[in-house]
Amino acid sequence: MPLLGRKLRLKMANLFFNQHSEDFWVWVNPDNWLVKHQITVTGGFTSGGLIKEKKSNLMFIPNQEFEGDISAFHHGITRDYLAEYNLEQGRERYFTQYPSRLNAIYLFKSEEEAYKYSDRHKWHVGDRKLKKCYSKVSLGYSIHDLSWVDFLRLLHSVDAESLDYISRAYWSGQKVEDFQLESMGKPWIQKPIFEVLFLGRVEFYDRNI
């Protein structure tokens, strides 16, 4: 069980509904034909929409009757989805006004933050290019320390009480470094990297890719 030991602050200070245009940065894959089409032809990305309260956006629901051991392969292919599942469950319970991670565009508020992400997630960024964009239509966005997501994706077990706590900490915008976490019996800490979950449409200043 992660050692958390800090009282949560559940104020919505990380949720924004700005009407004016804002700049963001995003890593894009130039080899993906859909990404290339969206940037060069339509000029931007459009997120999914808002989710009605008490409605789920989860495509797959874990089998509650599952019992027994799983293989390393089974764990590997479900680990990332279970992290998203648990975070979405927390959003549905406590933070229904927030953009769903399953519907949002993932952005950064600055180049610096985008490169922090690249340094820590080289496996994901790969040959992607960093592009500057601006909000054309905004339905709202929230800012979160994605170190919580990194923690949930580790090869360890987290009990239900801790999952609930972690989810609330993530959605309320709190930083991992302000808590005491353990993984495999050892202290675990990461400096924050702040991701933006954006609902609406962003357009690119430069359509070349």
Give start and end residues of each alpha helix (H) in the chain: 33-37, 72-94, 111-120, 122-125, 147-152, 160-171
Contact between residue 145 and residue 192 where contact means Cβ atoms under 8 Å apart: yes
DSSP state letter for 87: H
At 70 the pLDDT is 81
Average pLDDT score, the chain: 91
CA distances from 142 to 25, 38, 54, 162 (A): 15, 23, 20, 22
Question: Within a 10 A sphere around the Cβ of 141, how many other Cβ atoms?
Answer: 25
Instruction: Give, in degrees to the nearest 5, the angle at Cα 197 between 105 and 8.
Output: 160
What pLDDT was estimated at residue 1? 52
pLDDT per residue as tens, the chain (209 positions)? 566 666 676 667 999 998 899 999 999 999 999 999 999 999 999 999 888 777 788 888 888 888 878 888 887 888 899 999 999 999 999 999 999 999 999 999 999 999 999 999 999 999 999 999 999 999 999 999 999 999 999 988 888 899 999 999 999 999 999 998 988 888 999 999 999 999 999 999 999 98
36-76: pLDDT as tens digits: 999 999 999 999 988 877 778 888 888 888 887 888 888 78
Q: Is the full-model pTM beyond 0.85?
A: yes
Ranges of each domain in the chain: 21-47+104-143+193-209, 71-102+147-172
